[in-house]
Amino acid sequence: MMKFKKYLIIVGFLALLSTGWYLSSRKYVSVSFYHWNTEFNLGVSERKLIENAESDKIYIHLFDLDIDNNTGQILPKAKVNFISNIPENKDLIPVIYIAQKCFKNNSTSSLEILAKKTIELAKTLVPRNHLNWKEFQVDCDWTQNNKEKYFEFLKQLKANLSEQTLLTCTIRLHQIKYPEKTGIPPVKKGILMFYNIGNIHTFSIVNSIYDFETASNYLKRLKDYPIKLDYALATFSWGLHYRMGNIKSILTETSLSRLDSCKLFIKSQNKYVCTLSGLFEGDYFLKGDLIKIEKSGISELNLAAKQLKDHIKEKEINLILYHIKSSELKNYGSNENKNLKSIFN
Amino acid sequence: MGQMKIRISSLFLISLLLIPQKSSIIKGCGGWYEESYFERSMFIPEMIKTDRFDPFFLSSDDYYSPYNETFNNRKQAVYKTKKENNLDEWESYFLKLIPRDELIEIVYSLPEEAMDSFQTVHLKAIEKMPTSNQKNIGIFKIKEGAQYLRLAKQIEKALYINPWSNEEYNEYLLEGLRTRTINKYYKLKDKELKMRYGFQYVKLSYALKEYENGIKFTNNEYPYTEDDGSMFYRTHGYKAACHVKLKQFSQANIWYAKLYNLGETYKYEAFESFHPQSEDEWNETLNLAESDKERELLWHLLGVYVDPLRGINEIKKLNPESEYLPLLLVRAVQIIENQKIENNDYPNDYGYDGLEQFTPDPYYSWTSITKENTKELITIIRELIPYRIDDESLWWLSGAYLHWMNNDLEKSNEWTKEASSLAKRNHAVLLQVKINNLLNKLSSIETLTETDELEIHEFILDMDSLGRGVSRDDNAIKYVLNSLSIKYSLMDDPLMAELAKSNKHNYYDTESKVDEMISFMLSSSPNAFRRYLINHYSLSLSDLYEVKATARIYKGKFIEANKIFKKNKDSGKTELLGNPFNDRKVDCHDCDHHLPQRVKYTKESFVEKMIELIQKASDINNKNDRAINYFLFANGLYNMSYYGNARLVSTSAISWEFDVSDDGENQNNQVDNYYDCSKAAYYYNEALKLSPNKEFSAKCIWMIAKCEHNEWLNTSYNYNDKIDFVAGEYFNQFKLNYSDTKYYSEVINECGYFCQYINPSEASCIKNKDY
């Protein structure tokens, strides 16, 4: 009897240990969305999406910063206009995109002014009850040629934000692979853009939005990246218009939905071949042009999550899906959300 | 997100007055400079008789610039800018009573408040005039003109939105202004001002999103035509923009086509606003056309915009004699040429510079016809020729050029001959005939013979005799020589290959190649063609002698170098920027270059001086000056090295002085021993041995220490170690043995590194480090 008790104690102790281990190794996963349209107008389905994903925040693109062709100055473009309310109890995370060509001949003082104006404009654009930002996100495809200017801009932005606001910025896979060249941005947290992986300039059979093989080439050093990361994953589709093997234009999801009814094309697997030259959706197609349909839907999303899982060190995993208005998310319900989260545990 | 910019047609800026957003081309330039299309093309679009369409020739810039690249003697219409046009109209409205400079101020700079004083001043001036009808008209025009300008400035202010804000238009304010404009419009009889008020009304309707109102007003209440002035274009431009906002693209596009056709000032904007969306909508546009002529115009625009072949085919059905065909023809040939013909001086090498460079551009028409369509285009040309009585030679030559690109030389020659008989005195046509002849000759060569060389030369001379055109004939010669260079290489004749197309930095890898070229240039045997190549070669005899002499200098063979310089009067005449015999405690090339120089040295006189110095220094009978002569000689060696003020000595036609890049190819171009300071150190040491006093010795030791340090920088320095000074043997000697010299204290004052080496904690030393 004594022996049995002893046995029970040992078993109980082991069970406790393993539960503790399980709890300590369990990862907390959150899912939220990017909103990237110039009109913030959430419909029922998008609100439902946020609810099903149990998101506590929404990342809203407020504007782009780009060189104005007429004046040569850096000016805001594509400013967001809030038509509908932000769902209750959800935090607004402002996101701005800045074109890398903005960083050429700027002095430190001009970057200081730019940063100040950026924050001021962001404040005027968002609803008044959403001014206490927990995070402010910057998206820029910086390179080794302009990293100094960009990083200085980030520092200046930080100086203009309140202490409670965490400054974050997007990080592309090539920046993870070659940090010695592209540098580490001066932020506490980055957002790895785990999509737009392939080269779209010339035609290839690989899915440029997300491709497992291509992505694996970039992941070896992910754990070594010195700053914490959130992960942006793709849920969208587009059409790439090629002529003589070179990219000509990009078709939006809305245009893709009209392709089948257009007599200029015939469908062949994931491609449309132009058989009669003509106009479609404001673009012109010559006989022989190709439209390659690329998508990253729920299955690609799950595959990307599985691939990422073994390479990330964070215990709190924030996933951000790009983007909330995509038709690729129309079947994303609470089950899909649970499934996505469970991949990490 | 991380968006590659997607250009969505519906987002295009459509207003005539708002300059459309142009995007950059697809490639991001990360390497070589790419020659513009006109630096490569051999086809002359100016064969078109009218210059009306010149800006729409294919060009690497947004538009072909009539100002920069006008074909010889071609009379270009100089288009007025919108601003010039507007000022001309104001000038005429004010009966030329207001000077132009003042008008510019009044119309474009001064605020609305200044209109009162403008009115007062000019009314006073007019009132002094004797009573006449003109005086009365003048008074009226000043009063009404000032009133209009006041209102226009108010409107401009009301329509300004700070891009860094979330502001929107004040609709009440705009509405009030619009009421004022329309009241004035109906009240006034003066046509010019009435047109301006009408324009403001449509502009404000657009801003107020009352698009239908703007369209209705223009169609029903605005009876003016293009002959009535620029307000016609601007008003109809806003009307078309209203159609776009209502997604009535057909109505918009037909108006953009009309505006493109009517005048020159607004042609670009009209073209840039032309954005057909779908085939159905395009058919509607064609149905809206009032005549076949207008349909020709529409197909012309679609051809320029996206599909020249379709444009030509459709216009051909409507009217094979159409004035809208030639531009489409030359654009089609140019586009095919750009795809088919390689004629670059430099390799194209584009590096990744971020995905955002990808910006598809609908105006970027480089592939709107593909090279696979060449035969189809030739067939169409042949069908059209019987109808092209006025510009037949253009069509023959375009076809001949296409035949040449298709390697059908027989047809190309035949068609060129047809054009030749029609060419008369049209310079562009005559030149294209000669270009075609030259190219056909080149392509007919199978094994290059001397006869071929001489014939090619004859063709080039024949082209020269015509008087040169703008770049296209030069490009043809470049193309021919590039092709011949390849042939020479295949014939294992690298010297001729180099002469035909120079690749001098790679070619001259040994001195024997330089000698061979010199012998070839000096020999009397080269035929006329080869002589032509020698005369046009980028290196002259003096350049080649200088290459040889420079190599000798860096081997320390100054006497030999001097002899080589003497072989050609132009050799070695490059003037040095500073005195190469100066020494500095801390090197500062700019300082030396700015110092006044009593004697200006050239490479040649530098060599002569070096010979003189070493001779004096070596002369054991010369007891007094040997040390100083050694020292000056060593200074010369120091300064001609990478570390000194006379790096220019190392420069020749195939080497350059400053290049310190990691690029292996460029490294090859540096002369040997360029980084070597040891020879200078050796002669400083010789000077030291004969030193007359301790001050002089200190100077010698310091210079040797500098050489030692340079050697360390060259071999052991590592940027990442963040150590940029290591004291070697001679710095130590200097510290231990010469601290009592004046020179020593001068060094401490000037050289921060040494100062800190002596006194590690002395903060004041830092100041000198910026050297």
**Does the pLDDT of residue B218 top 60, yes or no?**
yes
B282·A279 Cβ contact <8 A: yes
pLDDT tens digits along B448-459? 999 999 999 999
DSSP state of A136: E
Amino acid B27: pLDDT: 32
Alpha helix positions (H), chain A: 2-25, 44-52, 108-125, 147-160, 173-177, 179-182, 212-216, 253-256, 298-309, 334-342
Residue among B166, B354, B358 whose CB faces A143 most closely: B354
Q: Do B2 and A247 touch (CB under 8 A)?
A: no
Q: Please list every residue in chain B whose beta carbon sits closer than 8 Å to the beta carbon of residue A250.
A: 4, 6, 360
Can you give the pLDDT at residue B77?
54
At residue B354, the pLDDT reads: 36
The first and second tokens of residue B703, run together, are 């210079």
Task: Answer whether B26 sits within 8 Å of A246, measured CB to CB.
Answer: yes
More confident residue, B221 or B26: B221
Nearest to A49 by CA among A63, A35, A29: A35
Task: Report chain A residues whose CB lies below 8 A from the CB of B22.
Answer: 69
d(CA B226, CA B476): 43
B529 vs B711, residue with greater confidence: B529
Residue B762 has pLDDT above 80, yes or no: no
Q: What is residue B652's three-state secondary structure?
A: strand
Q: What is the mean pLDDT of residues A119-144?
A: 96
- Give residue B266's pLDDT: 86
Residue scoring higher pLDDT (B186 or B37)? B186
**Mutating which of B1, B19, B284 best tests the A interface, going by the most A Cβ atoms within 10 A?**
B1
Rounded to the nearest integer, the mean pLDDT of chain A is 92
pLDDT of res. B383: 98
Contact B549, B564 (CB under 8 A): yes
- The stretch B197-201 carries a mean pLDDT of 98
Query: Taking CB atoms and an 8 Å limit, are B166 and A79 in contact across chains?
Result: yes
Between A47 and B620, the more confident residue is A47
Residue B714 pLDDT more than 60? yes
Q: Do A243 and B367 touch (CB under 8 A)?
A: yes
pLDDT digits (tens, 9 = 90+) for B401-418: 999 999 999 999 999 999
Mean pLDDT of B642-666: 69
Written in H, E and C, the secondary structure of B376-394 is HHHHHHHHHHHHCCCCHHH
pLDDT at B360: 36
Q: Which of B6, B305, B367 lies nearest to residue A244, judging by beta carbons?
A: B367
Q: For chain B, how big is the Rg over CA atoms in Å?
A: 37
**Which chain B residue lies closest to A137 (C-alpha atoms)?**
B1
Q: What is the pLDDT of residue A24?
A: 58
Arithmetic mean of pLDDT, B673-702: 94
Would you place residue B749 in the very low, low, confident or very high pLDDT band (cuts 50, 70, 90)? confident
Question: Dihedral (C-alpha) B74, B77, B81, B82: value to the nearest 10 degrees?
Answer: -150
Q: Which residues contact B96 (CB under 8 A, 6 or more apart)?
A: none
Q: Is the pLDDT of residue A1 over 90?
A: no
pLDDT(B298) > 90: yes
Interface of A with B in 23-62 (CB under 8 A): 34, 36, 61
CA distance A336 to A343: 11
pLDDT digits (tens, 9 = 90+) for B135-157: 889 999 999 999 999 999 999 99
Largest CA distance in chain B: 109
Mean of the per-residue pLDDT values of chain B: 87
Task: Give the strand order in the sheet containing A236-243.
Answer: A246-251, A236-243, A290-296, A271-274, A265-268
pLDDT at B657: 44
Supply the pLDDT for residue B198: 98
Q: What mean pLDDT comes out for the span A166-186?
A: 93
pLDDT-based confidence at A6, cuts 50/70/90? Answer: low
Compute φ and ψ for A268, nearest 5 degrees: -145, 105
CA distance B355 to chain A (A): 7
Separation between Cα atoms, residue A208 and residue B449, nearest integer Å = 53
- Cα radius of gyration rounded to whole Å, chain A: 23
pLDDT more than 70, % of chain B: 87
Whether B245 shows a pLDDT value over 50: the answer reads: yes
Contact A141 B275 (CB under 8 A): no
Report the chain B residue with the minimal C-alpha distance to residue A81.
B166
Model confidence at B720, pLDDT cuts 50, 70, 90, reads low
For residues A131-146, give the mean pLDDT. Answer: 95
What letter would DSSP give residue B107?
I
pLDDT band at B251 (very low <50, low <70, confident <90, very high): very high
pLDDT digits (tens, 9 = 90+) for A202-256: 899 999 999 999 999 999 889 999 999 999 999 999 999 999 898 888 999 999 9
CB contact under 8 A, A323 and B19: no
> Tens digits of per-residue pLDDT, A74-91?
999 999 999 999 999 999
Higher pLDDT, B431 or A17: B431
pLDDT per residue as tens digits for the range B337-350? 998 998 776 543 33
Q: Which residues of A touch B165 (CB under 8 A)?
A: 121, 124
Q: Which residues of A touch B163 (CB under 8 A)?
A: 75-76
Instruction: Of B85, B151, B88, give the one whose Cα is nearest residue B115.
Output: B151
Q: Would you say residue B356 has pLDDT above 70?
A: no
The predicted model gives B712-722 an average pLDDT of: 75
A309-323, B120-134, B288-302, B470-484: the lowest-pLDDT one = B120-134
Q: Answer whether B599 touches A (CB < 8 Å).
A: no
Residue of B nearest to A278 (CA): B279
Please determine, for residue B495, whether its predicted confidence score (pLDDT) is greater than 80. Answer: yes
Asked whether the predicted pLDDT for residue B189 surpasses 80, the reply is yes
Residue A160 confidence (pLDDT) above 50 = yes
Query: Contacts of residue B356 in chain A, CB cutoff 8 Å?
Result: 99-101, 141
Is the minimum CB–CB distance between B8 and chain A shorter than 8 Å? yes
Gap from A9 CA to chain B (nearest CA, Å): 55
Whether residue A250 and residue B355 make contact (CB cut-off 8 A), yes or no, is no
* Stretch A45-62: mean pLDDT: 96
- Distance, in Å, from the CA atom of B553 to the CA atom of B562, rounded to the nearest integer, reads 9
Overall average pLDDT of the B452-479 stretch: 90
CB-based contact (8 Å) between B164 and chain A? Answer: yes
CB atoms A244 and B307 under 8 Å: no
pLDDT of B666 strictly over 60: no
Q: Which of residues 224-253 of A touch B (CB under 8 A)?
A: 232, 241, 243-244, 246-250, 252
Asked if A200 and B360 come within 8 Å (Cβ–Cβ), the reply is no
Could you tell me if B680 and B707 are in contact, meaning their C-beta atoms sit under 8 angstroms apart?
yes
Q: How distant is the alpha carbon of residue B635 from its chain centre?
A: 42
Inform me whether the pLDDT recorded for A31 exceeds 70. Answer: yes
pLDDT of residue B16: 32
Under 8 Å CB pairs connecting chains A and B tally to 115
Number of residues that make up chain A? 345
User: Nearest CB to A252: which of B8, B275, B368?
Assistant: B8
Query: In chain B, which residues have their Cβ closer than 8 Å to the Cβ of A143?
Result: 352-354
Residues of B in contact with A279 (CB under 8 A): 276-279, 281-282, 306
Predicted pLDDT of residue A22: 52
Q: Is residue B608 packed enough to be buried (19+ CB in 10 Å), middle (13-18) or exposed (0-12)?
A: middle
Q: Are B4 and A34 a contacting pair at CB < 8 A? A: no
* pLDDT tens-digit series, residues A308-324: 999 998 999 999 999 99
Residue B675 has pLDDT above 60, yes or no: yes
Confidence of residue B592 (pLDDT cuts 50, 70, 90): confident
Is there a contact between B277 and A281 if contact means CB atoms under 8 Å apart? yes
Q: Which of A247, A279, A323 sits opposite B279 (nearest CB)?
A: A279
Looking at beta carbons, which residues of chain A come within 8 Å of B372?
A: 288
The Cα–Cα gap between B400 and B432 comes to 10
Q: Does A264 touch chain B (CB under 8 A)?
A: yes
Using a CB-CB cut-off of 8 Å, the residues of chain B touching A124 are 165-166
* CA–CA min distance A340, chain B (Å): 21
- The tens digit of pLDDT for each residue in B27-78 reads 333 333 456 788 889 999 999 988 888 888 888 776 666 554 556 666 555 5
Partner B contacted by A101 (CB < 8 A) = yes
Q: What is the per-residue pLDDT across B254-272, written as a single tens digit (0 to 9) for each?
A: 999 999 998 888 888 899 8
* Residues of A whose CB is below 8 A from B281: 279
Q: Give residue-wise pLDDT tens across range B519-544.
A: 999 998 899 999 999 999 999 999 99
B371 or B282, which is more confident: B282
Using omega within 30 degrees of 0 as the cis cutoff, is the peptide bond preceding B236 cis? no
A193 at interface of B, judged by CB pairs closer than 8 A: yes
Q: Confidence band (pLDDT; 50, 70, 90) for B659?
A: very low
B26 vs A: CB within 8 A: yes
Is residue A327 over pLDDT 90? yes
- B-chain CB neighbours of A117 within 8 Å are 164
